[in-house]
Structure 1
Amino acid sequence: MGYVHVYTGNGKGKTTAALGLSLRAVCAGKRVFFGQFIKGMEYSELKCTEFMNNFEIEQFGRRCFIYEAPTEEDITAFKLFNVEDALAAIKDRSENVEVIITGRYAPEEIISIADLVTEMKEIKHYYSKGIEAREGIEF
């Protein structure tokens, strides 16, 4: 049986947690599709397919809009869908499909159907000291 995992909150590590779980799944012989809906930039994880069989990654979007609402152009580029569509897709999946959802401000409807919910809370981050994002760590 596949379960629904949610990693949410303002802290760092949501995508990293999903990637770690994906690595573990691939190493156990499972197939992984990793879709990124608001990360239209070059991240190191896009190279995973060069190193791992049974791992597919695709980005839907043109840039991040984490701190602002998506524009109509973002919605079209990301092929964004509403919570009801996400819930229907989760409900209609094959029973052995595991679903991992990441992002800030997970809707209550998603949290309520999830089997595992982890909230990432930022307590301290070196960004506040002016340290730029580092390849292989933040991107």
Structure 2
Amino acid sequence: MITNKLEKGLIHVYTGDGKGKTTAALGQAIRTAGGGFKVLIIQFLKGDDTGELYSIEKMSPDLQLIRFGAMKKFYFQLNEEEKIEIQNNIKEGLETIKRHLIEENYNLIVMDEIMAVLYNKIIDLDEVLTLLKSKPSHVEMILTGRDAPKELIDLADYVTEMQMIKHPFEEGIYARKGIES
């Protein structure tokens, strides 16, 4: 159980079609850990070998990142067996978050790409809403991903929409190591 508690834990939603949702969440996670608080980052549906995996483990013992439902292709491209495996792994991730909320192990919990989990109907929106409504009052939560449901936006204290105006992908420049991955 954490001994150093936040005065009040709020809910953030970083959404939109622009770059920067995970980057903003990781920036807040680093700031929170630097302030002497414990942070858990749960990444859903991310399978790429990204830079944050290596820097976070070097940064602070108070900053932990775990992935659930890692994929190398889009969810709609998976066969039924692969989808079931991903669904089970995502449910394990949600149970991990619930357990840490009950045990009050972290001051900040990031649910990175939870919107993609909801969009693909891997878990039900009501389950996420219930989790957020039942969190301890001193635990901060950040949820990221495109297409945030209105119910999450209404529940959140902070909502930031990243809007794509221009992106190198449009010019055929794909994710670059150290910048987008």
TM-score higher than 0.5: yes
CA offset digits 1:51-71 (Å, max 9, x no partner): 222001000013166674873
Shift of 1:26: 0.7
User: Do 1:38 and 1:65's aligned partners in 2 also have CA atoms closer than 8 Å?
Assistant: no
The reply on whether 1:112 has 2:165 as its aligned counterpart is: no
Shift of 1:27: 0.8
The reply on whether 1:38 has 2:38 as its aligned counterpart is: no
TM-score normalised according to structure 1 size? 0.90
Residue 177 of structure 2 corresponds to 135
Change (3 A) 1:51 1:14: same
Q: Write out aligned runs for 1:1-139 (5 A).
A: 1-47=8-54, 48-63=56-71, 68=76, 71-79=83-91, 80-139=122-181
Shift of 1:118: 0.7
Percent of pairs identical after alignment? 42
Task: Judge which range, 75-84 or 88-97, deviates more.
Answer: 75-84
TM-score normalised according to structure 2 size? 0.71
SS of match in other structure, 2:139: coil
Displaced runs of 4 or more, over 6 A: none
Query: Structure 1 unaligned runs (5+)?
Result: none
Higher fraction of helix: 2
Change (3 A) 1:93 1:10: same
SS of match in other structure, 2:165: coil
Q: Per chain length, whose mean CA-contact separation is higher, i.e. which structure has more relative contact order (CA < 8 Å, sep 6+)?
A: 1
CA RMSD after TM alignment? 1.9
CA distance in 2, matches of 1:26, 1:16: 15
CA distance in 2, matches of 1:109, 1:72: 26
CA distance in 2, matches of 1:68, 1:120: 24
Aligned residues: 139
CA offset digits 1:74-120 (Å, max 9, x no partner): 32232253211111111111111000000011111111100010111
Shift of 1:41: 2.3
Residue 108 of structure 2 corresponds to none
User: Do 1:87 and 1:110's aligned partners in 2 also have CA atoms closer than 8 Å?
Assistant: yes
Task: Judge which range, 26-35 or 77-86, deviates more.
Answer: 77-86
